[in-house]
Amino acid sequence: MKLVPLWTDVLVWLLVAVLAGYAWYAHRRPHLAAPWRRVSRSNAGMASLVVIGLFAAVGLTDSIHYHPLLPGTQAGAPPVYSVEARSLLDDLLTPLWSRSEKTYSAPLAIRSYSRETVELPGGEVRREFPRLRYGGRHVADERERDRDVVLTVLQGLAWGAMAWATLAAVWVTVLARLRRVTVQTMARRILRRETQVAWIAVFVTLLVAALIVTPVALLAGGYHVFGTDKVGQDVLYLALKSVRTALVIGTLTTLIMLPFAVLLGIAAGYLRGWVDDVIQYVYTTLNSIPGVLLIAAAVLMMQVYIDSHPERFPTAVERADLRLLFLCMILGVTTWTGLARLLRGEALKLRELEYIQAARAFGVRDTRIITRHILPNVMHIVLISLVMDFSFLVLTEAVLSYIGVGVDPTMNSFGTLINNARLEMARDPIVWWTLAAAFGFMFVLVLSANLFADAVRDAFDPRVRVGQAAAEGAG
């Protein structure tokens, strides 16, 4: 196995490292940790965090790409690698992608969705719905299918409940050890919501997730749970692969625009004068260009470059990846203005504050004032807009891919799924499951991102803290 570090993979893992670093840094500083504690007390915040965590797990396992070792290599001979790049997720989901049908099949179907001409053993020719190559193969008698599905679901529920119970028990024990109390005391505290973290919300969400994921996983072994698409690919697999694209767009775009927004916004507000004028003119101009046109032009230019330099991109995955990264960049360039404006206003306010004046009275240099005094005091705004932008960007990707200027057509994303579904909806009989799957996954992801953003905003909103402080002060 030989690792293929794709650009987006590297950036995604870098982001994970940055987040981990921030968590460690904030953990040791009470003023940074306090708002996160408020997030951890919020039921909606913790429940949505769990869901986002599950999506992130899917996305991260899909962000380790490598060339697999070709089978049949002689011992001692130099290893021969496949030319295609696969991800860890692909390997885990091998049963899903390796069992392609010919064409459409409905969820949990055992026969194809379209009639075919079949030659019977007697030489007779008939048009019928043929049995699928893989879906429901283990069911000998077609009438047994419903029973089999129900049994599998029940089995899945049982397994899920057991897995959840084990996890919960282990977790409570670990917590009890850390707090040095008995397991019973810890459990009682959690049930009475006496803990810092809303563990009840975490456990309930995990239970619901377990009761959904396990039956689906068991069913996916024998059926196509969300059906198959036109060329017979499993839709569940496509949807799971789309999660990474959505996460990459949602996070990397912000990561790319952040330096622009923070630097230019604060510089404009703090330095004033001609710097302010130039930066304001730049973002006013950028804002006046229709965003979709700019994105379309940039993406098409990128496509031309990719097509004329095929030697630089050995695999299709790498080609698609570069286009994805480029899309993140261009989205970043067009969306930094909002945050920059916000930060400019905040910096304008902060620069008149007395601690900044005091720093200037010491002759502290501007760069140092910006990094030591202004930046830490606007970070809450950056953080709030970061989580709020995430769902906006996920939806934007879907729209852009739908109109054809988004990600590479070979790349799985919610946008391309929806784009495919466009024609299927017009077909008779209608193929509804691709759209439903894309819709369902995206809805859950965006909803949990929005709920989490709400919880973060509530926790970081200075007005909330002012209210509390006033109540305390009045006493």
Distance of CA 20 to the CA centre of its chain: 17
In this structure, what are the phi and psi dihedrals at residue 316, rounded to the nearest 5 degrees? -65, -35
Q: Tell me the three state secondary structure of residue 90.
A: helix
- 273 is a site residue for another protein (CB under 8 A): no
Minimum Å gap between C-beta 30 and another protein is 7
Residues in the interface with another protein (CB under 8 A) total 27
Contact by Cβ (8 Å): 15, 251:
yes
Q: Which is nearer to another protein, 42 or 228 (CB)?
A: 42
User: Exactly one of 73, 287, 371, 468 binds another protein (CB under 8 A); which one?
Assistant: 468
Task: Report the distance separating Cα 223 and Cα 208, nearest Å.
Answer: 22
Q: Which is nearer to another protein, 323 or 351 (CB)?
A: 351
31-90: contacts with another protein (CB under 8 A)? 31
Count of other CB atoms within 10 angstroms of residue 422: 11
Contact by Cβ (8 Å): 169, 186:
no
143: tokens are: 């009438």
319-378: contacts with another protein (CB under 8 A)? 353-355, 357-365, 368, 372-373, 376-377
List C-alpha distances in Å: 185 to 91, 181, 192, 202, 379.
42, 6, 10, 18, 38
Q: Which is nearer to another protein, 84 or 461 (CB)?
A: 461
List C-alpha distances in Å: 470 to 30, 118, 257, 418, 475.
20, 79, 36, 50, 9
Q: Which is nearer to another protein, 178 or 474 (CB)?
A: 474
- 272 is a site residue for another protein (CB under 8 A): no
Task: Report the distance separating Cα 426 and Cα 404, nearest Å.
Answer: 19
The stretch near another protein (CB under 8 A) out of 115-123, 135-143, 423-431, 467-475 is 467-475
- 474 is a site residue for another protein (CB under 8 A): yes
- 27 is a site residue for another protein (CB under 8 A): no
Minimum Å gap between C-beta 2 and another protein is 46
135-164 mask for another protein (x: CB under 8 A)?
Answer: ------------------------------
Minimum Å gap between C-beta 306 and another protein is 44
Task: Report the distance separating Cα 2 and Cα 303, nearest Å.
Answer: 27
Minimum Å gap between C-beta 48 and another protein is 23
Q: Which is nearer to another protein, 2 or 368 (CB)?
A: 368
Q: Tell me the three state secondary structure of residue 67.
A: strand
Report the relative pairing of strands 2-3 and 125-128 from DSSP bridges. Answer: unpaired
- 472 is a site residue for another protein (CB under 8 A): yes
Q: Which is nearer to another protein, 244 or 373 (CB)?
A: 373
Task: Report the distance separating Cα 274 and Cα 75, nearest Å.
Answer: 69
Contacts with another protein, residue ranges (CB under 8 A): 30-31, 353-355, 357-365, 368, 372-373, 376-377, 467-468, 470-475
